Structure 1
Amino acid sequence: MEVIMDTNQQEYERYQQAKKKVEKIKGFYGNLISYIVVNLFLLFINLKYTPEELWFFWPMLGWGIGLAFHGMKAFDYTPFLGKDWEERKLKEFMDQEKRGNHGK
């Protein structure tokens, strides 16, 4: 009986994790759609009323950087200081501790 409960608990936890991942991706796509719509609107306003000064790309650039980081987080893409890096550093520090080389 306990094995069945453990299996059900594991299945439920996997379902909850998958659900969180789907919500993160869904949030990213919502942000992407907003980014496209708002920036097209800003482009229209810029070209219609002040075509001599192109300012629309500044908010597009700022939001685009944030959107890129949001996408990296939503799709678990962390090339900088990701989980692998963290695990390697932990192992490195543990090995140093074993050898008695405290941070050297």
Structure 2
Amino acid sequence: MFSKTKKTERLDPEQREQYEYARARVKQKKNLMRHFVVFLAGAIFLVVINPVLGYGNDFFIKDWFVWAILIWAFIFLIHLFNVLIMNTFMGKEWETKQLEKLKAKQEKRIAELDKQMAQEAIVEAVKKKKEHDTMPSPPAIEE
């Protein structure tokens, strides 16, 4: 009742991995929302700074802020695509499947190399035996 050790519930490795994956996804989505908010604020700022305040009218491109917003929107769409679309297709399951494929390929290659080394060892043993059998035996010393 008054023991100093506290019993804490431990997560098994699979639950821990799922938790870390979910945490990473939440962080990705949070960063995407931040990017969206900064994009909106930045776009409004660019619209206010150019047409309303007249800043940048001496640039060689008229309405440069539109191009800046379009480029930024393109970057945001790439970010959106990466977080929402690519993670669906190339999510945790895809990653696990790819790892399993690579491990299987690696194990197959190791087995092939072991087999090749065993064959080379047999060939070397046969060569040594032939050399030993074909060598003239030393003359017997008579006393």
Q: Does 1:71 align with 2:75?
A: no
Gaps of 5+ in 2: 1-9, 99-143
Q: Which has the larger radius of gyration?
A: 2
The TM-score, its normalising length taken from structure 2, stands at: 0.47
Q: Deviations over 1:31-79 (max 9, x none)?
A: 110000011011011112169732211111111111001011111x14x
Structure 2 counterpart SS, 1:56 = helix
> Structure 2: how far apart are the matches of 1:50 and 1:25?
34
> Structure 1: how far apart are the matches of 2:72 and 2:51?
19
The corresponding residue for 1:90 is none
> Structure 1: how far apart are the matches of 2:55 and 2:33?
31
Amino acid at match of 1:14: Q
Amino acid at match of 1:47: P
Considering only aligned residues, what root-mean-square deviation do their CA atoms show, in Å? 2.6
- Which of 19, 23, 30 is 1:19 aligned to? 23
Gaps of 5+ in 1: 88-104
Amino acid at match of 2:20: Q
Q: Does 1:57 align with 2:66?
A: yes
- Which of 31, 38, 43 is 1:34 aligned to? 38
Q: Percent of aligned positions with the same letter in both sequences? A: 20
Q: Deviations over 1:6-47 (max 9, x none)?
A: x71100000000000110110011011000001101101111
Amino acid at match of 1:25: K
Higher relative contact order (CA 8 A, sep 6+): 1
